[in-house]
Amino acid sequence: MSSKQPDLTALPRQIVTGKARLAGVLGWPVSHSRSPRLHNYWLARYGIDGVYVPLPVKPEQFAQAVKGLQAAGFRGANVTIPHKEAAYALADELDHSARRAGAVNTFIFEENGSIRGLSTDGDGFVASLESAGHAPTGKALLLGAGGAARSVAAALQDRGVQVAVSNRTQDRAEALAQALSGLDVVPWDMWEEQLGSYDLLVNTTSLGMEGGPDPMFRPSLQHAAPHLVVADIVYVPRLTPLLAEAEQKGLKTVGGLGMLLHQARLGFREWYGHDPEVDAELEAYVRASL
């Protein structure tokens, strides 16, 4: 995709009237979220009367805030750290992806007053792979055993991929394997040497993230098969240490921004009634804020 800054003057002005459709993102903090930039870009691009706002909500006020948004006429909301498990418990109805992920990142406020919970992270990740020309097949190894790992692992399993997980804390990896039947566990000190038997490697941790616990995370990929696809859900920086190492070895790579963009489509479609397009212009606009 092109990294050229899009010409925003070519976009229509965003429409906001008394009939505007409302949605937002709940998090604590939430200032880092690029979701408002992403959704408001789509709203302007498609001339939709609506707005999407950041909603900083403390954990102890989460349930009250969600009910307040619903009462105020919001169509729904995204949910980010640290509220995804609380959102799972609050939803009246859970779709298949949310039950598999054990978390909710998208609320749909139904007209009958109920709250439907979805998890779009895993499907967004798979869509980002597919858009890059790397439909997942064969065997995948995931680094990490947190909520993102579970979402990605479940989505890959649902598409017939054999998934293994490796985590620095073995107990967490084993707990994830118990939650998702058929998931294998690879000890952290052994995954590098076993890499040759996998078709896809995914970093679902914050390792290598700008400001994260280990921004210089650079594992050895010397045992990787030539066809290995290396993906990272981190999108700041664009070229993480893991992806840089993979590119140096001539391996195919998929960055984390695509997952962010693709996971947003389902919520937007539900709230605003339009299926938005993920393209180079959108990626350039969101990337310009990173």
Task: Give the DSSP letter string of 131-191.
Answer: HTT----SEEEEE--SHHHHHHHHHHHHTT-EEEEE-SSHHHHHHHHHHSTT-EE--TTTT
Measure the CA angle with vertex 277, ends 274 and 281; round to 5°: 135
84 is catalytic: yes
| pLDDT recorded at residue 2 | 47
Task: For residue 60, give the amino acid letter.
Answer: E
| pLDDT recorded at residue 5 | 57
Neighbours of 64 (CB within 10 A): 11
From the list 245, 6, 261, the residue with the least C-alpha distance to 131 is: 261
DSSP H/E element including 259: helix 257-272
Strand ranges for the chain from DSSP E: 21-27, 50-56, 76-79, 93-94, 106-109, 115-118, 139-143, 162-166, 184-185, 200-203, 229-232, 252-254
For tokens 């640290």, the residue is 82
| pLDDT recorded at residue 207 | 84
Report CA Rg, the chain: 19
| pLDDT recorded at residue 7 | 60
pLDDT tens, residue order, the chain (290 aa): 445 555 655 566 788 999 999 999 999 999 988 999 999 999 999 999 999 999 999 999 999 999 999 999 999 999 998 899 899 999 999 999 999 999 899 999 999 999 999 999 999 999 999 999 999 999 999 999 988 899 999 999 999 999 999 999 999 999 999 999 999 999 999 999 999 999 999 999 888 877 777 767 788 999 999 999 999 998 888 899 999 999 999 999 999 999 999 999 999 999 999 999 999 999 999 999 88
| pLDDT recorded at residue 227 | 97
Residue 210 in contact with residue 239, Cβ under 8 Å? Answer: no
9-17 LR contacts (CB < 8 Å, sep 24+): 11/41, 11/44, 11/45, 12/44, 12/45, 12/47, 13/44, 14/40, 14/43, 14/44, 14/51, 15/43, 15/47, 15/48, 15/49, 15/50, 16/49, 16/50, 16/51, 17/49
Catalytic pick from 19, 58, 84, 249?
Answer: 84
Tokens for 111, please give them: 């007209």
From the list 121, 117, 34, 31, the residue with the least C-alpha distance to 70 is: 117
Q: What residues contact residue 139 under an 8 Å CB cut-off, 6+ apart?
A: 161, 162, 163, 164, 197, 198, 199, 200
Task: Indicate the DSSP class of residue 97.
Answer: H
Q: What residues contact residue 120 under an 8 Å CB cut-off, 6+ apart?
A: 97, 105, 106, 263, 264, 265, 266, 267
Do you find a cis peptide bond into 29, omega within 30 degrees of 0? yes
